[in-house]
Amino acid sequence: MADRPDSPEHGTGSIAILPGTDTTALEFGGAEASEELGLASVRARGYWESVWLRLRRDRLAVAGGVFIILLFVIAFTGAPIASKLLGHGPNEPFLVSGGLDADQLPAGPWTHVGKLMPDGSLDEQLFVLGSDSTLGRDEFLRLLYGAQVSLEVGVGATFLSIFLGALLGAIAGFYRGWSDTLISRMVELTMAFPYLLFVITLGATLGSRLNKVTFGFLGEGVVTLVLVFGLLGWFYSARVFRGVTLSLREKEFVEAARMVGASNWRIIRSHILPHLVGPLIVLATLSVAAFILAEACLSFLGLGIQLPTSSWGNLLAYAPQYYTERPLLMVWPGIALLLTTLAFNLLGDGLRDAFDPRSSR
Amino acid sequence: MSLLPVRPIPGRETTGPVVRPGCSIEGSGMRNKKRLFGIVLAISSLVLLAASAATAAPTAKKGGTIVVEFTTDVDYTDPQLSYYGETWKLEGATACKLLNWPDKEGAAGAVATPEVAAGLPVISANGKTYTFTIKPGFRFSNNKPVTAKSFVDAFNRFANPKMQSTGVSFLDIVQGAQAVIDGKASTISGVKARGNKLVVNLTKASPDFLARTTMPFMQAIDPTLAGQIDANGINTYASCGPYYFSARTPNRSITLKRNPYYKGGRTANADTIQVNIGNDVAVEFQNVEKGTTDYASGGIPPTEWKNVVSKYGLNKKDGRVQVRPLLDVRYVAMNHARPLFKDNPGLAKAVNWAVDRQAFSAQGGYLYGKRTGQILPPGMLGYKPAGIYPLKVTPNSIATAKKLAGGNLRGGKAVMWASNAGVAPLQAQLIQYNLKQIGIDAEIRLLPRAQQFTNAGNPKTSDYDMTVERWGADYADPYDFINILLDGNQVTNPQHNNYAYFNVAKYNKQMAAASLLTGPKRGTAYAALDGAVMRENPPWAPMVNSNDRTFLSNRVGCITINEATGSGPLLNVICLK
C-alpha cells in the first residue's frame, strides 16, 4: 500500500516504483547506469499500466472479463435483437400451437411453434431452447432477458453497497472517535439484521410501489432488490475500507500532506481514496457475483423479480416441476448462473492479484 | 372445506354431500319425514353414482404405521378452527359427529347417516326444532363418555368470539348463535342438552341443517377442550372418532393414534397415522415411489400424473392411482367493492371471454379437471350446463372480450392475488397475459395460501381487484356455493367467503328465497341464479372443476375413497399389505 502513485516515497522524477516493478536497473544508478551497461532505456510504467500488464498475464481473469463483456452485450443488445428475429417476446405463451408437446409438457429444444394471428392463422416460429414451462414461453429469450435482470440487480446493488461502504468506511477510518464508534455499531447492527425478513416486510409494505419503479429501462422489482441488497450489503465493504483507511492515515505521505496544510477533505480525496480504488474494484467484482446469486435465491423463493419478468432465479424455481421430463430446464439457467458467477469471481481474483501482487493466490 | 397445499392451486377442499337439503324434512309427521329423507338419500346417491369408482370393500389388515406427507402445515388441528382440506382429512379419522359419511365408496358413502345420533332427528312441524337422541357407548380417547352436552359444548365453543372461527357463518340459522358471536351472550340459547337428547332450535326452517352437522366444526368435544378457549387453537386433544391427535409439531409433523376407547362402527386399520410436513411435491413423489411414504396428500408434480397412470393404471381396485371428480370450482374472483369492477359488468364479462380455461387446466397436468364457466359444479343440485362463456380461446373470443372491455377499463390497472405454491404462480401469469390482451395491466401478488384467503375474506385487508381462488363443497348443496360465496349480506363481516364482494340486492333476495326451497324447486331456483348471475353480472371467471388425484405407495393394501368427503383415501381405512 505504501508504494502507490502519489506516495511521497515513490522516488523522484517520473519513474514510479510500483509493487512488482523490476528495480535492478535503477539500483545501478538509474538511466545513465543503464546506458553504461548497454541496456535499453527503461520506460517508466504507470500504476494502471502495471496493473493491466499483471492482469493480462492471468488468462483465467481475462477469460472472465471477456465473458462478462460478452454477457452484457448479449443481454442488453442481443436479447431485443433475438426477440425481433424470432418474432415473439419472452412473456408470450404458446399454448395451443407447439409450446407444449403432445403430453402437455414444455416443448423441447429446437421446436417450431405456431403463433396465433388475429385472422386465426398460425405463424411458424422457433423455440431455440424449447418452452420454459407449461405456459409455453420461449426459454431462450427468457434466459437472455433474465441475464438483463441479473446484471441490473448485480451491478446496481454493487454500486450502492460499495458507494455506501466506501464512504462510511473511509469516514470511520479517517476520523475515528465517535464517528468510528457510530459507524462501527451501524455495521454490527446491519450484519445482525435478518435480511430475509426485511425483504418480506419491504415486499408487503412498499414492495408494490417500489416494484413499479423502472426508470424506463429496468425490470420490475429490480429497484426493490437493489435497495435491499445495497442497504443491507454495505457493511462488508465498509469494514474493508475502514481497515485500509485506518492504516493509510498513519502513513508518512498523509502526515506530509497534513504538514503542508492540506485539509481533511483534500487528504481523503487526493491521498486516501486513490488507494481504495484497487480493493474497491476487487470487492465490486466479487459483490456482483454474490448479488446475482442472491437475486436468484430470492426469485426462487418468490420474493424477487415480479412476474412475468424473467430472471434466472425464477426460471430455476419453475424448472424442478419438470425435472424428470425436461431436466434441461434446470440446466440452462443453472449454467448461466454458474458461468456468470465464476467469471466475476475469476476476474475479481485476477484483479486482486494485479492490484496487490504480494498477495498469494 | 379446505385448502390443498399440495394441489397446484391450494384451495378449499370438499366435504361432501349428504342429506340432500333440496328435499324437505320439515313436515307434518315422522313418517312423512322419513319418506322425504329417503328421497334425499336417493337423490344424493344418484348424483354421485356416476362419479363413483366401483371398488369393493377392502380386506383390511390391521396394524402398522401409515405415513402421509403434507407439503405445508395445516391451519389448525383445533376442531372449531380448522377449515382446511388437509385438516379435515385428519379430522375425518378423529371426529365423531351427529351424522357422518359412511366409510364407503360410491353411492353408499354419499348418504349422511346417523353416527353418534341414535337415528334421524325428530323435526318439529314448523321445521325449526331438531331433537337428536345420543347413542350410548361413544367415548373420547381419555375415556370420558360422549353426551349431548359434548355437542352443546362444540356449538358454544364454535360461536365463542374469542375463538375467532372463520366458519361461524354456518351458525347463522341457529337460534341465539349470533348473540354469542357478537359477545352479547356466553351460550347459544337455541342449543340445549336434556339428558341424552340434544335440542337445536333454528331461526328458520333450513333444509341443509342436517348437512351442516357433518362438518367437523360440530363434532363432539370433551369437557377439557370445551374449557380451552384460544384463538391460536389447541394442537392435541381427546377426540371420539377412531383416532385422536396424539402429537403435533407445527410445520414438522402430526401423529394420530388409535382411540383405545372407540366403540363405534367405523374402521381403524393402522395403529398410527404419521403425517410428515414440509417436503416439496417432487420429494413426496420420490418417497411414495420408494415406499417410505404411503400417501402424498399434496399430490405429485403435475407432469408425473400421466406417467403414473400409464405405469400403474387408473382407478384399479386398491390401485396406486385413483382419480375422482370433486364438487369444487377454481375461479378468479373479481372484487366488486373496488373501482375496477364495481358496477362494471361489461368488464367482468370481458374477463370471462378472455381467460384461457384450457391453458389454465393444462398447468395442473393430466386429469386436472374439467373446464367450466359456471358457479355450480357438475353433480351439484341445480347444475345445468349454460354455455355462457367459451371454454377455449379463439380469435373470435378475444375479439368479443376486447369489444366488451372497450370503454370499461377504468385505467386498466389491476392487482391480482394468487397462491405462491404449486402451479398457482403459472396460472396467475397466464391470467395476467389474458388480461393484457384486453387492456388490463395486472400486477401479480403471490401470497401463502392461508394468508391469501384469510386476507381476502376480511374487508379491511382485501386490497385486490382479482384473486385466484378455489372452493370445495363443505357439503353437497348449492347453498354452500351460491349463498356462502356470493351473498352480499356477509361482505361486511370480518371473516367471510364472498371474495368477489358481490352485493346485489336483487340477487341477495333471490338467494335467500332459494335457500328456503326444497326438492326440485330448490334445484331450479339455484340453476336460474347460477345462469342469471353469470350472464348478467359475473362476480367471477370460473375456470375449472378439478379432480381429486391420489397416488399411493406399493405398501398400501387397501383403500376407500369416499367422494362425498372429497379428498383422497379415508385415512382411518388405509391398510398396509
Residue-level pLDDT at A47: 80
φ, ψ of residue B323 to 5 degrees: the values are: -130, 130
Residue-level pLDDT at A100: 82
Measure A290 CA to nearest chain B CA, in Å.
25
Residue-level pLDDT at A10: 39
Full DSSP string of B327-381: SEEEEEEE-TTSTTTTT-HHHHHHHHHH--HHHHHHTT-TT-EEE-SSSSPTTST
B→A interface, C-beta within 8 Å: 280, 282, 301-304, 306-307, 356, 358-359, 362-363, 365-366, 393-395, 415, 420, 423, 425-426, 428-430, 432-433, 443-446
Measure A151 CA to nearest chain B CA, in Å.
23
pLDDT tens per residue, range B152-205: 999 999 999 999 888 888 998 999 999 999 999 999 999 999 999 999 999 999
Indicate the pLDDT class of residue B54, thresholds 50, 70 and 90: very low
Residue-level pLDDT at A359: 59
Give Rg (Cα) of chain B. 23
Contact call for residues A336 and A70 (beta carbons, < 8 A): no
Residue-level pLDDT at A39: 58
Measure B336 CA to nearest chain A CA, in Å.
21
Measure B394 CA to nearest chain A CA, in Å.
8
Residue-level pLDDT at A37: 56
Q: How far apart are CA A128 and CA A140, in angstroms?
A: 6
Is residue A327 less than 8 Å (CB to CB) from chain B?
no
Q: What percent of chain B has pLDDT over 70?
A: 89
| Average pLDDT value for residue range B128-156 | 97
Q: What percent of chain B has pLDDT over 90?
A: 72
Residue-level pLDDT at B280: 86
User: Which residues, in sequence order, are CB contacts of A271 under 8 Å at separation 6+?
Assistant: A6, A248, A253, A254, A257, A262
Full DSSP string of A129-161: S-BSSTT--BHHHHHHHHHHHHHHHHHHHHHHH
Helix (H, G, I), strand (E, B) or coil at B47: helix
Contacts of B423 in chain A (CB under 8 A): 134, 321
Residues 289-308 of A with CB under 8 A from B: 302, 306-308
Mean pLDDT score across all residues of chain B: 88
Identify the residue whose cell numbers are 373470443.
Answer: B397
CB contact under 8 A, A325 and B359: no
Contact call for residues B71 and B449 (beta carbons, < 8 A): no
B447: part of which helix (H) or strand (E)? strand B441-447
Question: Is residue B53 predicted with pLDDT exceeding 50?
Answer: no
The DSSP secondary-structure symbol of A272 reads: I
**What's the burial of A154, exposed, middle or buried (CB within 10 Å: 0-12/13-18/19+)?**
buried
Question: Is residue B299 predicted with pLDDT exceeding 60?
Answer: yes
Q: Is the peptide bond before A308 cis (omega within 30 degrees of 0)?
A: yes
Contacts of A307 in chain B (CB under 8 A): 425, 428-429, 432, 444, 446
Question: Is residue B512 predicted with pLDDT exceeding 90?
Answer: yes
B132: part of which helix (H) or strand (E)? strand B129-133
Indicate the pLDDT class of residue B405, thresholds 50, 70 and 90: very high
Q: How far apart are CA A343 and CA A339, in angstroms?
A: 6
Q: In what order do the strands lie in the sheet with B197-201?
A: B122-123, B129-133, B197-201, B191-194
Residue-level pLDDT at B481: 95
Sign of CA dihedral B3, B6, B9, B15: negative
Q: Could you say which of B303, B394, B433 has the minimum Cβ distance to residue A93?
A: B433
Residue-level pLDDT at B75: 84
CB contact under 8 A, A308 and B280: no
Closest CA to A320 of A312, A330, A311: A330
| Average pLDDT value for residue range B472-491 | 91
Q: Extract the residue ranges of chain A whose pLDDT is less than 70.
A: 1-42, 96, 203-204, 208, 302, 358-361
